[in-house]
Amino acid sequence: MPITICMINQKGGCGKSSTCFHLAGAMVEAGKRVLLMDLDPQGSLSQGFFGSTAVENVEAINTTARLFHDNAFFTTVDQLVVGTRFENISMVIANQHLARFNTPEPEETGMLQFAVREFLREAIEFDIVLIDCPPNLYRCSWTALVAADFVVIPVPPEDFGTQGLRAVHQTIEQARKLNPNLRRLGHLITRSDRRLLIHRAYEQRVREIYRGNVLETVVPEASAFKVSLAGRSPVEFDMPGSLAAKLTRQLSREILDRINEKTVSLKVA
């Protein structure tokens, strides 16, 4: 199976979709074959590659909504995975058809909680799966946690960005009852502006509270990310010499290093 990482936070606008989008390019630069899985009914990650009109017109049977139906366990990778214009980046698209399945109390959905996990067992041609979750802790996020090996929690360094983290941690702990191998890679400071004292103060506070559970790499609020996204291209391919691309490659290496460390420690234990 590929290594599966989900980006989760119940706060909207914290950089989950953007991080998945640009990180995919950096992971490819590191020699990985990447599958992006969109589990957000807004479909922002999907639209980043294909545009809003194309994504909105995709039929439900060709989106992640198919994995929330009773026949989910009969769905194959070939039926849902589509290529992008970038070599070694593929996707499973989401759009508005997923919204009706993203309900509270996901623990009550029985075996369908495992549908995404079983689907990814067959994705053997990929090295890394990045799952983009919606800005809540309902069924889509829960299903991602049940399927994932690791969790990254994007956190903007401001008051609204850090609210609700306790609920995120509690949900991760609950998901471990069904997925004991689920581990936190750490909190990721996103959308940071080091010129702002309040951003520096919040980052320091997050690091004081969570210590080693905060990634060293900080993702800034950089125009290169926005320009590249507007061009439907991860910054690695669009502006490889930019600071944004350099930091994204640094983030990719840090994530891969942490995965190796946690995998080794698990084997030793």
**For every one of its 269 residues, what pLDDT tens digit does the chain have, with 9 covering 90 and above?**
899 999 999 988 899 999 999 999 999 999 999 999 999 999 999 999 999 999 999 999 999 999 998 888 889 999 999 999 999 999 999 999 999 999 998 877 789 999 999 999 999 999 999 999 999 999 999 999 999 999 999 999 887 556 779 999 999 999 999 999 999 999 999 999 988 898 999 999 999 999 999 999 999 999 999 999 999 999 999 999 999 999 999 999 999 999 998 776 655 55
Side chain identity at residue 138, one-letter code: Y
- Cβ neighbours of residue 120 closer than 8 Å, sequence gap 6 or more: 1, 2, 4, 37, 129, 147
As its CATH architecture, domain 3-268 has 3-Layer(aba) Sandwich (3.40)
pLDDT at 61: 94
- How far is residue 84's CA from residue 190's CA, in Å, rounded to a whole number? 26
- What is the radius of gyration, based on Cα positions, of the chain? 17
Residue closest to 238 by CA, chosen among 248, 7, 219 = 248
Beta strand 183-189 pairing with 89-92: unpaired
110 dihedral zone (left: phi>0; alpha: psi -120 to 50; beta): left
pLDDT at 267: 57
Residue closest to 266 by CA, chosen among 149, 107, 172, 164 = 149
Long-range contacts of range 27-30, CB-CB < 8 Å, 24 or more positions apart?
A: 27/127, 27/128, 27/130, 27/252, 27/256, 28/86, 28/87, 28/88, 28/89, 28/236, 29/236, 29/249, 29/252, 30/249, 30/252, 30/253, 30/256
Torsion of CA 33, 36, 37, 38, to 10 degrees: 180
- How far is residue 16's CA from residue 24's CA, in Å, rounded to a whole number? 12
pTM of the shown model? 0.94
